[in-house]
Amino acid sequence: MAQSSSVSSVTTTSSVTTATTGTSVVVTTTATASGGDVSNTQLQLVKVSGNGSGSCTGSSDLSVSDPGSPYTYTTTVSTSGTTKSFTFTVGNCGVYTYRVTATWSGGSRSSSDATVEFIDPTSMTVTARPSTAQANLTQIFNLSIDIQNSQSSNITTSYSLNTSGGIIRNSGDDESSTGITIIAGTTQTLSWVLKHNSCFTSTKTVTFDLGDKASATTMTVTGNSSCATGSSSSSTSTSSGGGGGGSTSTQVKAIVAKQAAPNTIKATFSAIAKDKEAVVEVPSDVDTGLTKILFTAAKALTSAQITVAKLDSAPASISAPVSAEPSVKVYKYIEISHNIAEPEIAAATIQFDIDKSWLDANNIDPAKVVLNRYSSDKWTKLITSKTAESSTKVSYSAATPGFSVFAISGEEKGAAAATGGEGQQTTEGGPSGGTPEQPAATTQTPLGAVDTSLLIGVVILIVIIAAGLVMMRKKSSRSGRQSGYYVARKK
């Protein structure tokens, strides 16, 4: 007797395990037949349990959006496997258990149960930088949104950037996404360049929705009362980190986005005019040691990018130590990669901080902290200056002729100065050249001063001459008596 065909297995996989309410989750199912294909099989996503037992309640329970009503697939299940996808969302927090069931004329079969946890979008911290801006007609301005996930698991969320009339997205990240994943314990930054493209004279609000949380954060934009055309915008944002102050109207600020790799950022400039100073502000929660990078464009630049990453150690391609002196300790290694040719940079400065706890633990002299650059197969000390000090940090600034691999180092207190030899470093300044070497100090007698040894010699010489004269006189007196020149006194 021939074996009748049936659905022998049903499996499922989910696109995520944790998502915000209002974010679509895709469950992919594969049904496999045995004994021949099974026609007119219905595949259905079934909620086993979960009704919003968490801290938030929304407008809906589990809701399937694809396939549409009646939310099932009627298909033929083949012996090689038939795959379909279900898309659903929920409006209530909680853990939802689901399965997919295949039903045909000869019976039914279900997948194993699986779960997805939905959390409130407000469990993540969302911040707009800056929160206010002013832009005249045709002006562009920057907006960055930080999404901080302090949870212990990765969270997938949807988002949408909503611009008001008169403001459009000029460049940057997508305005919306059905799903981005924020790694546990990290902050992801989305960045845009926005433009005032249609005159408005009051204020407009740019809103950012996260999951089903509308206006999770906002930015208020003020237009110009006369709608005058301008060439630049100003904002109320300030720089982060201890290395310096906020940007000025002559500076161009980068759009900074945190990357998936730990302690890594990518800075993007849509355009930098010739002789303008470009600024990359490193977020304070990105542990590179750097706080700010500044450089002046020697020519007009477009689509310039700089990536800053903290390294656990020097790259494998670098075998030379930062210093041959055992008293020199390395605080951090940093790599700055870019798509800018070195001649296109007229001047560059790197600002950085060092924790006082590290200085104390390693007995480092704060006056002997330097930024080292690796270039042309050697480490070079950059001219480094202390700029500020707080109760926890010391801030420094160093000029550099270019970007590559850097090491922040310090020398122990009381260490003797290096005497040269193998591993000796050179000193380098910015693109216009460093401070020239100074000649060795020599001891000079001040004008008008008398050498002590010379004075003693003169005194001894005078004494000898005087003694000689006295002896000569005595000898002359005795000679006079013997020659008859002596006249006896009359009685």
Domain boundary among 119, 135, 158: 119
Q: Verify that 390 and 404 share a domain, yes or no.
A: yes
Give the closest residue to 50 by CA, choosing from 100, 16, 94, 6.
Answer: 94
Distance in angstroms (rounded) separating the CA atoms of residues 359 and 371: 15
Distance in angstroms (rounded) separating the CA atoms of residues 80 and 209: 42
Total tally of structural domains belonging to the chain: 3
Does some domain include residue 99? yes
CATH of the domain at 267: 2.60.220
Domain boundary among 382, 411, 433: 433
Q: What is the pLDDT of residue 226?
A: 67
Kind of pairing, strands 140-149 and 378-382? unpaired
Does some domain include residue 372? yes
Give the closest residue to 246 by CA, choosing from 137, 351, 332, 383.
Answer: 351
Q: What is the mean pLDDT of the chain?
A: 81
Q: Verify that 115 and 127 share a domain, yes or no.
A: no
Per-residue pLDDT of the chain (491 residues; tens, 9 = 90+): 456 899 999 999 998 999 999 999 999 999 999 999 999 999 999 988 876 544 555 545 788 889 988 889 999 999 999 999 999 998 888 899 999 999 999 999 999 999 999 999 999 999 999 999 888 888 888 888 999 999 888 999 999 999 988 999 988 888 999 989 898 888 888 888 888 888 888 899 999 999 999 999 999 999 877 664 443 333 333 333 333 334 444 678 888 888 888 899 998 888 888 888 899 999 888 999 999 999 999 998 888 899 999 999 999 999 999 998 999 999 999 999 999 988 898 889 999 999 999 999 999 999 999 999 999 899 999 999 999 999 999 999 999 989 999 999 999 998 765 444 334 455 555 554 433 333 333 333 333 344 555 566 666 777 677 776 666 665 555 544 444 433 444 44
Over residues 292-347, the pLDDT tens digits come to 999 999 998 888 899 999 999 999 999 999 998 999 999 999 999 999 988 898 88
Q: Are 352 and 396 in contact (CB under 8 A)?
A: yes
Does some domain include residue 484? no
Q: Verify that 380 and 281 share a domain, yes or no.
A: yes
Q: Verify that 165 and 287 share a domain, yes or no.
A: no
Distance in angstroms (rounded) separating the CA atoms of residues 30 and 320: 55
Backbone dihedral region for residue 166 (phi beyond 0: left; psi -120 to 50: alpha; all else: beta): left
The two tokens of residue 88 are: 């659903």
Domain boundary among 73, 95, 119: 119
Encode 250-281: b = buried (16+ Cβ within 10 Å), e = exposed. eebbbbbbbbeeebbbbbbbbebeeebbbbbb
Over residues 254-302, the pLDDT tens digits come to 888 888 888 999 988 888 888 888 999 998 889 999 999 999 999 988 8
Q: Verify that 136 and 282 share a domain, yes or no.
A: no
3-state secondary structure the chain: CCCCCEEEEEEEEECCCEEECCCCEEEEEEEEEECCCEEEEEEEEEEEECCCCCCCCCCCCCEEEECCCCCEEEEEECCCCEEEEEEEECCCCEEEEEEEEEEECCEEEECCCEEEEEECHHHCEEEEECCEEECCECCEEEEEEEEEECCCCCEEEEEEEECCCCEEEEEECCCEEEEEEECCCEEEEEEEEEEECCCCCCEEEEEEEECCEEEEEEEEEECCCCCCECCCCEECCCCCCCCCCCCCCCEEECEEEECCCCCEEEEEEEEECCCCEEEEECCCCCCCCEEEEEEEECCCEEEEEEEEEEECCCCCCCCCCCCCCCCEEEEEEEEEEECCCHHHEEEEEEEEEEEHHHHHHCCEEEEEEEEEEEECCEEEEECEEEEEECCCEEEEEEECCCCCEEEEEEEECCCCCCCCCCCCCEEECECCECCCCCCCCCCCCCCCCCCHHHHHHHHHHHHHHHHHHHHHHHHHHHHHHHCCCCCCCCC
Q: What is the pLDDT of residue 163?
A: 92
Q: Verify that 162 and 106 share a domain, yes or no.
A: no
Residue with tokens 């944790």: 18
Residue 312's contacts (CB-CB under 8 Å, 6 or more residues apart) are 333
Is the overall model pTM greater than 0.85, yes or no? no
Q: Verify that 217 and 146 share a domain, yes or no.
A: yes
Q: Verify that 296 and 395 share a domain, yes or no.
A: yes
User: Which backbone phi and psi does 78 adopt, to 5 degrees?
Assistant: -95, 165
Distance in angstroms (rounded) separating the CA atoms of residues 366 and 359: 7
User: Which backbone phi and psi does 81 adopt, to 5 degrees?
Assistant: 105, 135
Does some domain include residue 455? no
The two tokens of residue 470 are: 């006295």
Q: Verify that 224 and 322 share a domain, yes or no.
A: no
Does some domain include residue 443? no
Q: Are 204 and 196 in contact (CB under 8 A)?
A: no
CATH of the domain at 132: 2.60.40.10
Q: Verify that 228 and 276 share a domain, yes or no.
A: no
Q: Verify that 331 and 304 share a domain, yes or no.
A: yes
The two tokens of residue 215 are: 């206006």
Q: What is the pLDDT of residue 243?
A: 37
Q: Verify that 273 and 418 share a domain, yes or no.
A: yes
Give the residue numbers spanning the domain of 228: 123-237
Does some domain include residue 26? yes
Distance in angstroms (rounded) separating the CA atoms of residues 383 and 435: 8
* Distance between start and end Cα atoms, the chain: 186
